[in-house]
Amino acid sequence: MFRKFYLLYGFLVLGTSAFGQYRGWSLDTINQLKNVPKSVRDNPGSYRSVYSGYHHYTGGK
């Protein structure tokens, strides 16, 4: 019983990973935005990145 389950499960895992590669899945988390105004191209400063103001690591050991 478990072996049948494992066979199905394994093919599902392989199928999902193949589908993911085909569809261009990634492990990185990227914030998506819609309807960014075309004016950004002419005035890049008008766009406010959600990541600006990031607290930078300035350490080292």
Partner 1 sequence: MSAPPPPLSGPPKPQAKALNCPKCGAAIVLRSFGQAETVVCASCHCILDAKDPNLAILQQFEIKTSDIRPFIPLGTRGKLRGTDYEVIGFQRRSTQVDGITYYWHEYVLFNPYKGIRYLSEYNGHWNDISICKQLPTSEGTSANYLGEIYKHFQTAEANTDFVLGEFPWQVRVGEHAAVTDFVHPPRVLSSEKLDKEVTWSIGEYMYGREIWDTFKLPGAPPEAMGVYENQPSPVTINVAGIWATFAAFAVFLLVLIAAFDMRAKKEPVLQETYQYNRGDAKSEASFVTDVFELGGGISTVQVRTSSPVDNHWIYLNYALINQDTGQAWDFGREVSYYHGYDSDGSWTEGKRTDSVVIPSVPPGHYYLRIEPEVDPSLPAIPYSVSVIRDVPVFGIYGIAFAALLLPALAISWRAFTFERSRWSESDHPPMQLSNISTSSGDDE
Pair 47, 40: CB distance under 8 Å: yes
Number of residues that bind partner 1 (CB under 8 A): 46
Is 8 a binding residue for partner 1 by CB under 8 A? The answer is: no
Site string for partner 1, 26-55 (x = CB under 8 A): xxx-xxxxxxxxx-xx--xx-x-xxxx-x-
With b for 16 or more beta-carbon neighbours within 10 A and e for fewer, the 19-45 pattern comes to eeeeeeeeeeeeeeeeeeeeeeeeeee
Q: H or E segment at 55?
A: none
List residues binding partner 1 (CB under 8 A). Answer: 1-3, 6-7, 9-10, 13-14, 16-18, 20-28, 30-38, 40-41, 44-45, 47, 49-52, 54, 56-61
